[in-house]
Amino acid sequence: MFSRMNESLIISCLALLIIFGSATATMAQGAERVNKPDRGRIGTVTLPPKPKEGADAKPSYPAGDLMLPALRDLIVSPTMTGMTLTFAARSGPVPVVEIASVAPFTDSLNHSSFHPTWFQFNPVPMKNKSTPKETAYAGGSYQSSVNLSQDTKYYYIVTLPAQGSFPEYQLTGSFTTTNRKVTVNFTRIHILDDSDPSGSGELSFTFWVEGGVHGGNTRKLGDRENSLYWDSGHIENLRQMLPFVIEQAGDRLRIVVEGEDDDAGLPAGCIETRTEKDFEDLKPHKIATCGNEVNYAKHEFDLSKYPGKFVSIPFTITSMPLGPHGVTLAFDVSGYIEFRNPDVP
């Protein structure tokens, strides 16, 4: 009996040893499968070190970090006659900005350029940002001092030249300058003196506006063959007259109304050689061949003195006063100017 019990005990111990040994081998094999790298896969992954903790912790970036973009945060803000361009660039090379009215050409080396370049300049550096990661950048900004045309599309190239291991980097794009559209409305004309003491004046008027681009050159009321028989004191409503619409209006807007009294009454015999005259040279005079009187109501408005977003300027312009020229025809015209300043938010 004792020997059988010993035999059973020995067999049980041996069985336990076999089970324990198998489990140990399985764990060892499992550990090897977990920790051993897979040689069949390409590439390796290295986790970053644990970041520092505490108030003095500062992130570190290796010199020449290719993960930082060469140019970024580029913003183009066009105005009526120029633009403001702002961006951040990697410290080191000096950026170059080019502007042209034609699209850039890109060669086989992926380098963009203009043919020809209208404007080329280096942007004015800005102060570096304050956060540690931004110390790798130097800002650049530029506000155009050249006279660009209104309502016109332009193209730009921003180039960060190659330096060391960094290749050249370029950004290209386009912008359109804003447009100031001005509307001039005439509302009435008032005859102060018809210049004809014995009856009604035989009048005609020509209206025009200078200072931009517009579709119609002039507006007319009457002519030498179809005179307006208006007396002194007459007021004529002009609200039916089509307004002048001026595109790309500059700061100087000039309004001119030319009045003429046909004293001769013979249109065929009243000939005046008309030449383009400057605004300053428009003065009262008599036409030598027939004695017709000509006078002007004119005024120059400086639109830059009206900084609001939506502007309405009422006006009354009186013709030029009596003088040695002997012209007595006198009148005034009223109306209003309207426009929106496109650069005012």
Q: Split the chain (345 residues) into runs of 10 and give each run's mean pLDDT.
A: 49 46 43 36 36 36 48 85 82 85 91 87 61 49 70 92 86 92 96 87 92 76 88 94 90 94 65 69 85 92 93 97 84 97 88
**All structural domains of the chain with their residue ranges:** 71-176, 182-340
- SS3 of 196, please? coil
- SS3 of 89, please? strand
| Helix runs in 131-198, H state only | none
Q: What is the pLDDT of residue 143?
A: 53
Distance CA 14, CA 12 (A): 5
Distance CA 262, CA 292 (A): 5
**Structure tokens belonging to residue 278:** 């400057």
Q: Check residue 195 and give left, alpha or beta (phi > 0: left; psi -120 to 50: alpha).
A: left
Q: What is the pLDDT of residue 137?
A: 52
C-alpha triplet 326, 330, 331: angle, nearest 5°: 165
Same fold, 71-176 and 182-340: yes
Q: What is the pLDDT of residue 272?
A: 62
- SS3 of 314, please? strand
**Structure tokens belonging to residue 74:** 């580029």
Give strand pairing partners of 124.
141
DSSP letter, residue 101: S
Neighbours of 81 (CB within 10 A): 20
Distance CA 41, CA 60 (A): 31
Q: Is the pTM of this model over 0.85?
A: no
Homologous superfamily (CATH) for 182-340 = C2 domain (2.60.40.150)
DSSP letter, residue 308: S
Domain 71-176 fold: Immunoglobulin-like (2.60.40)
Distance CA 240, CA 330 (A): 23
First to last CA, the chain: 109
**Structure tokens belonging to residue 201:** 């004046």
Distance CA 88, CA 57 (A): 26
Q: What is the pLDDT of residue 225?
A: 81
| Helix runs in the chain, H state only | 2-35
Q: What one-character-per-residue DSSP string does 231-297 give?
A: -TT-EEE-TTSPPEEEBS--SEEEEEEEEEE-SS--GGG---------GGG---EE-TTT--EEEEE
**Structure tokens belonging to residue 188:** 């009435």
Q: What is the pLDDT of residue 75?
A: 85
